[in-house]
Amino acid sequence: MNLYAVAFYLLAAVILGATLMAVTRRHLVHAVLYLIVSFFGSALLFYLFGAPLLAALEVIIYAGAVMILFLFIVMMLRVGADQGPLFPPRQILPAIAMAAVYLAVASLLAVRDTGTGGVLQTALADPRAFGDYLFRNAWLAVEIVSLLLLVALVGALVLGGRTPAADTPEGPGAPREVRP
């Protein structure tokens, strides 16, 4: 077992452990912080797999922007700890059933040879080569994604903006004062 393999198994343990802790936390702030650790582990894993640009983007977008947005919303809504059972039986039973199906398939895959095996060789996708490939072969998808982000921005504005009907607790039919 060489240094790369040791790094992979260490990172896998960190990612799985942090995600497990995140899923089972009662306080949302703790869950988000554990998930940030998990995403940092994923970024290092991308770096190990020879994708330095994606590693940087994972830290910037996932751990930086998305998780901080979650933290922001959790603090804005003043969410307390979850009350009651963490995993109610009515909901954990289907989850356990689906996880068992996955584990059965994964154990089958582990013992059978599916033809996709093989040991990973180290390689490096140079950021310049990656960007070159992206804008040569996938430029249409880049444009579509930019359109998607614009639509998401408009959707977030529409949903998050203060609607007059939601301001009054009585609903849209009740008289309400005029705001300047």
Partner 1 sequence: MIVPFGHVLLLAGLLFVLGMVCVVARRNLIMILLGVEIMLNAAAIALVGASLRWQAMEGQVLVLFILAVAAAEVSVGLALIVNAHRRSGRLDPNAFHRLG
| Site residues (CB under 8 A) for partner 1, limited to 47-106 | 48-51, 53-54, 57-58, 61-62, 65-66, 69-70, 73-74, 76-77, 79, 82, 84, 86-88, 91-92, 94-95, 98-99, 102-103, 106
Measured at the CA of 59, the angle between CA 57 and CA 121, to 5 degrees, comes to: 70
Nearest to 39 by CA among 23, 21, 15, 74: 15
By CB under 8 A, what part of segment 111-140 binds partner 1?
A: 116-123, 125, 129-130, 133-134, 137-138
Q: How far is the CB of 34 from partner 1 (least distance, A)?
A: 10
Least separation in angstroms between residue 176's CB and partner 1 is: 15
Distance CA 94, CA 88 (A): 11
Minimum CB distance to partner 1, residue 126 (Å): 10
For residue 53, give the amino acid letter: L
Sign for the pseudo-dihedral over CA of 62, 68, 69, 73: positive
Residue 160 near partner 1 by CB under 8 A: yes
Q: Which is nearer to partner 1, 125 or 176 (CB)?
A: 125
Q: How far apart are CA 166 and CA 176, in angstroms?
A: 11
